[in-house]
Structures are given as structure tokens and as C-alpha cells.
Amino acid sequence: MFAWLPENVSTFGGDIDSIFRFIYYIVGFWFLATQGFLIYCLIRFRRRPGRRPPYLHGNNLSQAAWILLPLVIVLVLDLWIDFRSADVWAKVKVGGPRPDVVIEVTGKQFNWIMTYPGPDGRFGTADDKKVENELHVPVNKVVQVVLRGEDVIHSFFLPQLRLKQDVVPGRAIRAWFQATKPGKYEIPCAELCGFGHSGMKGWLHVHAEAQYKEWARKMWPGS
């Protein structure tokens, strides 16, 4: 089943996948255990001629235990998941390493607009370039995206980078990733945002160093 996950080309992808696996095994185990028990009870206590069902009040402690015990188990497992994922959450979602490249990404119905700061590395200057749906980044570098929304809520999703972040109008939300393998990866919008949502798709181009320089030379000739 884990073979269904898209290829992982992110430095923190392994951490995300390990949490994913952890939750999957916990939920999977209890799904099989409870459904197995349900089927066992259906067969074991099925209607038989001459056997009358007992009358239960359901108000003493031994019966309340059927609710309280699962409650405690769920709580403990939930906290266990929380503790295990706290470090990963902090690493991926809080702050992040110092970026090598910063790109602004604006979601609007139904496109991703990438704004590159150009050779001066600053936004709001003459060499800024806006490109629709094409995000070009160097491999093995820390890339920070500043996510903005023009209309409704979108979700910036990089499946192969194990990154998903809501894009909220009125806010500039920073996210980061570091790709480990050159290639072309899809950027779907992962939040139903209107009629054209399913077609709202960009591409992430992860370039090896030489190709990235080549791309930058074409974008900013003479720099």
C-alpha cells in the first residue's frame, strides 16, 4: 500500500512518511480488531431457537467499562501520535532553515502565479518576473515559497515533496522544501476552490545546478 505513495524527493519526506505509516498501522490494527470482534459477536450471539436475550440495564461500572476503556485507549494512542509528530511538525511547518531561494506563489481561480525576485533577490523591483504555473527551483537548495491568495482558499500541494499548505487570502504564509532529485512534478490545488479547481495545476521544475543557471540566464538575459 505504501507503494501507492508518490515518489519522495523531499529532505523531510521520510519524516512525513514515517508518521503516515505510524498512523496507518495503529488505525489498521484497530480496524481489523474491532471489525473482527463485531463479526465474531454477530456469529457467536446470533438468534437461536429457544435462547432468549438477557435484559441489560447498562448502568453499572462493568458495562461502563466498555465505553471508558476504549476512550482511554483512543486518548493514549492519540497523544502518542501527537508526541511523535510534534518534532516533524516543528521541522516542516515552523520556521524552517534559512532559504537559498525565495519565490512568491499566488493562488487565484484557477492558476498559480509564480513571482521570481530576479538577480537582485528582492521583490517589488524592476527585475521581478511573473510566470503562470511554472515553478523553477534548484535541486538540493532550501526553497521558501510565500503563499498568497487573491480570491478564495486554495491549497498548494507538492505530493512528491510531501508539502501541503493552505493559501488564505489576506495572509502571506511561508512554507519551505528542499528537493533531492531533478525532475518535473505536479502542483495541484488541493482545496476545492470553484468550477475550474480540477484544472488548477502547475509544474515544479527541479533543476540540476547547470540547468538552473541556464534557465536563469534565459529569464534574465545579460545578468
189 binds Cu ion (CB under 5 A): yes
DSSP β-bridge partners for residue 204: 135, 185
State the minimum distance, in angstroms, from the CB of residue 68 to Cu ion: 43
Burial of 153 by CB count in 10 Å (0-12 exposed, 13-18 middle, 19+ buried)?
middle
Q: Do 198 and 111 form a contact (C-beta atoms < 8 A)?
A: no
For 4, which DSSP code? G
200 binds Cu ion (CB under 5 A): yes
103 binds Cu ion (CB under 5 A): no
Distance CA 149, CA 164 (A): 15
Contact range with Cu ion by CB under 5 A, out of 28-36, 176-184, 188-196, 213-221:
188-196
DSSP β-bridge partners for residue 114: 105, 131
- How do beta strands 101-108 and 142-149 pair? parallel
Residues 145-184 as x/- pattern, contact with Cu ion by CB under 5 A: ----------------------------------------
Contact range with Cu ion by CB under 5 A, out of 19-27, 71-79, 111-119, 200-208:
200-208
Q: Which of residues 113-132 bind Cu ion (CB under 5 A)?
A: none
197 binds Cu ion (CB under 5 A): yes
Cα distances from 62 to residues 53, 56, 75, in angstroms, run: 19, 12, 20
State the minimum distance, in angstroms, from the CB of residue 56 to Cu ion: 50
Q: What is the total count of residues that contact Cu ion (CB under 5 A)?
A: 4
Question: Which residues contribute to the site for Cu ion (CB under 5 A)?
Answer: 189, 193, 197, 200
